[in-house]
Amino acid sequence: MMKRFVIALAAALVAASFTVSAWAGADNTETLKGYVTDTWCGYNRVSQPPTKECTLKCVKDDHAKYAFFNFADKKVYILNPQDEAAKYAGQTVVVKGTVGGNETFTTRKGSDSGAIITATSISPVQRK
């Protein structure tokens, strides 16, 4: 009886370790292309690209956050880490990271909220 219990327990532990390994290995990383902008003017990005000067000014003077305007879905996301996003203000970039969570931010039209991209890498797109 004890031998069967030990074998069943060992089998359950092995199965659980495979489940945990599969879950831990799940990669929700997305690769997105768009502009590093700000939450104050970010909604204008469908019709006009940001400039570095405007983005930096809005973050400093209007309490905006650095954001990402995604070309694919035309949405604005908070872009974290903020200090890394600052390096690419006004540029077209490729962001690799995870989308999740929701955060309130300031816009020209008042308070709004949106999803957050936590970047593992931000790379500028080379102009041709």
- Could you read off the pLDDT of 19-41 as tens digits, one per residue? 443 444 457 999 999 999 999 98
Separation of alpha carbons 62 and 107, rounded Å: 9
CB atoms within 10 A of CB 85: 25
Question: For residue 126, what are the contacts with CB-CB under 8 A and spacing of at least 6?
Answer: none
pLDDT tens readout for residues 41-100: 887 777 788 999 999 999 999 989 999 999 999 999 999 999 999 999 999 999 999 999
Q: Are 85 and 122 in contact (CB under 8 A)?
A: yes
**pTM score of the predicted model:** 0.75
Domain spans of the chain, in order of start? 30-124
Alpha helices in the chain (DSSP H): 2-25, 52-61, 82-86
CA distances from 101 to 7, 36, 45, 55 (A): 42, 19, 22, 23
